[in-house]
Structure 1
Amino acid sequence: MSDKPLPNLDAWIAELAPALGLGEVDVPLRPLLDLTRDVAHNVARPAGPITTYIVGLAVAQGLAVEDAHAAITTLIQERAE
């Protein structure tokens, strides 16, 4: 993904997190957006947000976003073979 600014996403996160009872959160925007894009393009468009949701569940249990991305990249590559 490019290094262009992500308009309104920081403001949206700042509003959304407290509305969900989370307070201030540090969201790894670029990795999550890249992951969602890769899944949407290589698996199916609806799989993008579903995958991001499942990554969120895994991260809540202690998995690093980078490790989730690596595992999903492996799955995508195996599907392509």
Structure 2
Amino acid sequence: MNELDRWVAAAGAELGVLPEDVAVKAVLDMARDVAHNVIRPGAPVTAYLMGLAVGRGADPAEVAERVTALALDWKREPEPTES
């Protein structure tokens, strides 16, 4: 068991969530794509949004897939130039 597995087990126990109910790879992949393609602080916020959606009954794999697709297609706003 690695440190992440230990953390998921401990945090899950604290929150009443079984480790096998945590889509660790999907969350990590989604967070990576948001951090690299959108904005780094968006990764934890998006993980929270994902948790809210799943808590309301959405399928974790579907949520991760949809958010990942959105992040990979994201077009950043151009940085304003100084005049």
Structure 2 unmatched runs, 5+:
77-83
Structure whose CA Rg is larger: 2
CA-to-aligned-CA distance 1:12-62 (integer Å, 9 cap, x gap)? 112112223x15342111111000000000110000011001101101111
> Percent identity, aligned pairs only?
36
| Contact map agreement 2:37 2:72 (CA 8 A) in 1 | no
Runs of 4+ in 1 over 6 A off after TM superposition: none
Greater length-normalized contact order (CA 8 Å, ≥ 6 residues apart): 2
How many residue pairs are counted as aligned between the two chains? 75
TM-score after normalising by structure 2: 0.75
1:42 matched residue in structure 2: 37
CA RMSD of aligned residues (A): 2.1
Normalising by structure 1, we get a TM-score of 0.76
Alignment gaps of 5+ in structure 1 = 1-5
1:58 paired residue number: 53
